[in-house]
Structure 1
């Protein structure tokens, strides 16, 4: 049976409880927002095929629980992930302060080629903001990772967050930095169209460049 995608990538979404990880996944995969979402118990899963630089890329996205009691489960999902999305809530400074811990964990348990994106979620709640855009950008730059702000409610930059990271992974494949024969890399190539595979970083026209040192 012919596959309907060229490349398969595994994603993991991490961060404190109630920062909107499940809402981001739901908005991205099903284009809908649920105002009241039950806390994730263990792991949730979603998939979506997107077009990235002429390639059909299937994303397998694992949404993890933020509670400490599930951290041992979460750690096992870093292994074999091509991309880690670190999420905090711009209205909750504590969730931002915990990002360094999440980042440390991701780098300890993920592969050295794993793409990491810092996401400041709930940017639609500007009046309740407790973490500035510049703070998020500085943290990302200091750790050489990418950064973007999103709103799972309004769908602002949600698609772009996944486009940016998958484009970067494609570029690493093209540059020979990812060995796709290694199952631990989180990438499986069905058939890569070399002529159209020319990944470019997406730009947010309504925001500053979502750059964190690597974008």
Structure 2
């Protein structure tokens, strides 16, 4: 009887690992992998962000996401269920009027932004990303242009997400940008951050 229970536990353990691996593979299958400074990014085929990654536009943000991931004691290498969202960040603001501005850690932008091209990039550590993320600018819903999986540890497992948001419509030129990511898995927690865009 004891031998039967041990074998059952081993089967459950193997099945749990297989399910987790299948889930991890689903996040990277049919994606194009780009590696910059030890961080792998998994893009949809023909992603409009590919050239920006290759040109190093997001290198600083990816480097800081990697440092934050390593510093967070809640992040553990897992082959079981996906880790919850543990950190959210607003990384860059770019617009026709204000150009490119790196904003991580700022409460207000240095530049006055606005125009027909007006985007914000955000970072998530943990399993949020995609349809689990929301953003608003001056009270209006932002349009998510992309959500790219980020492997911060080189193990081919997605550790976080880099999202790009269009905030050009309606034509607001200043106000709070608020970003929220909800964990896909238990406990289903949400984390938020914000910046005032001038």
Larger strand share, 1 or 2: 2
Same fold (TM over 0.5): no
Larger helix share, 1 or 2: 1
TM-score (norm 2): 0.29
TM-score (norm 1): 0.28
Q: Larger relative contact order (C-alpha < 8 A, sep ≥ 6)?
A: 1
Larger Rg: 2
